[in-house]
Amino acid sequence: MALITTDEQEALREVMRGFLGKYSDEATVRAVMAGDRGYDPAAWRTAAEQIGVQGLLIPEQFGGGGCGFDEMAVVLEEAGRTLFPAPLLSTAVLATTTLLAVGGAEEHLGRIAAGELIATVAVAERKLAWDPDDVHTTATRRESGWVLTGAKPYVLDGAQAELLLVAARTPAGVSLFAVEAGAPGLSVTPRDPLDQTRRQAAVGFDNTPAVLLGEEGAGWQVLAGVYDHALTALACEQVGGAQAALEMTVGYLNVRQQFGRPIGSFQALKHRCADLLVEVESARSAAAYASAAVAAGADDAPVAASIAKVYCSQAFYHVAAETIQMHGGIGFTWEHPAHLYFKRAKSSEALFGWPADHRDRIARLTGLVA
């Protein structure tokens, strides 16, 4: 999400907006929420075949588009605008970034780019923020190969994923392993999250066969970079959601009449909307800087990613809450889409760590605390 986008990026935005208008309108989102899959296979397949969304970050030699994170940021912002219910964040960002970092996963990358494989990353256990000290799942080497034992209570799209990339501890340290869906000893229990547009599952491992990815003990070096990508990707989504909620609110204020004129003409509501606009644009700036830092591999990418997570989380939540308030009575009904954005905002605030967790991370990264 660059502050100044290229013509190609704006063309991608236009294509995505058209695609989402067909496959992620409110009626479709609600239908997917009520279903068991958690996503629309036809939409997922079309996104791969016609736009190449899942393969944007994948090099061309592996079947992808060979684009950068700025292009993915555009897609994520547009997906956030419509609350696109699909394993986009887990597969196209988390799993793809991880597989690219460890190398030797060309087959998986090709299937992701083709829309044939849903994959996710399982790291956090007792905390929401990723922390190497929080990895308690163990990996044991046996004659037949590696096996995993432990649990990951909150895994994005864990029940939908056919491939899980799991952080587990070996004598050498945190390592990364690939686990296929249906592997012996693997248990997957779908959770009932606040936000049904983004599914989660509790995943357990009981001597589950796994394949080591990369070097033993080098997993956290990979995951640290993936974490920054995840935080930034989520921030881009949050900007899109906040923008959509604000537009929804302004649209309502311009048609709802009281005392013979639109309520949007009342000064108090104008001021509230102006404040929300400032928050949305500031969030856009934070996400754009984090995107540029992550794309360039800048030294300050971890700080920028956490700053974006903090600010965009708070901005989206505030805008979504104000959307309900300024819609009045209708905004408090479950049938109104304002609630969908509010639930996404609240769940996104916690995803990958609360803002307080990232304030602590920023303080540590900048040397404010030891």
**Which among 249, 246, 244 has a CA at the least distance from the CA of 328?**
249
Encoded tokens for 156:
């994005």
| Torsion sign across C-alpha atoms 296, 96, 75, 122 | negative
Q: How many CB atoms lie within 10 A of CB 333?
A: 11
Q: Which fold has domain 221-365?
A: Butyryl-CoA Dehydrogenase, subunit A; domain 3 (1.20.140)
- Write the single-letter amino acid at 222: V
CA 167/CA 154 separation, integer angstroms: 13
* Domain ranges across the chain: 7-117, 120-216, 221-365
CA 100/CA 106 separation, integer angstroms: 9
Per-residue tens of pLDDT for the chain, all 370 residues: 666 789 999 999 999 999 999 999 999 999 999 999 999 999 999 999 999 999 999 999 999 999 999 999 999 999 999 999 999 999 999 999 999 999 888 889 999 999 999 999 999 999 999 999 999 999 999 999 999 999 999 999 999 999 999 999 999 999 999 999 999 999 999 999 999 999 999 999 999 999 999 999 999 999 999 999 999 999 999 999 999 999 999 999 998 878 888 888 789 999 999 999 999 999 999 999 999 999 999 999 999 999 999 999 999 999 999 999 999 888 888 889 999 999 999 999 999 999 999 999 999 999 998 7
pTM: 0.96
- Write the single-letter amino acid at 273: C
CA 196/CA 167 separation, integer angstroms: 25
Helix, strand or coil, per DSSP, at residue 334 = coil
Encoded tokens for 258:
């009281």
CA 106/CA 62 separation, integer angstroms: 6
What residues form DSSP beta bridges with 186? Answer: 205
Backbone angles phi, psi at 62, to 5 degrees: -105, 10
Domain 7-117 listed as CATH 3.60.21.10: no
Q: Which fold has domain 120-216?
A: Butyryl-CoA Dehydrogenase, subunit A; domain 2 (2.40.110)
Tokens 């609240």 label which residue?
A: 346
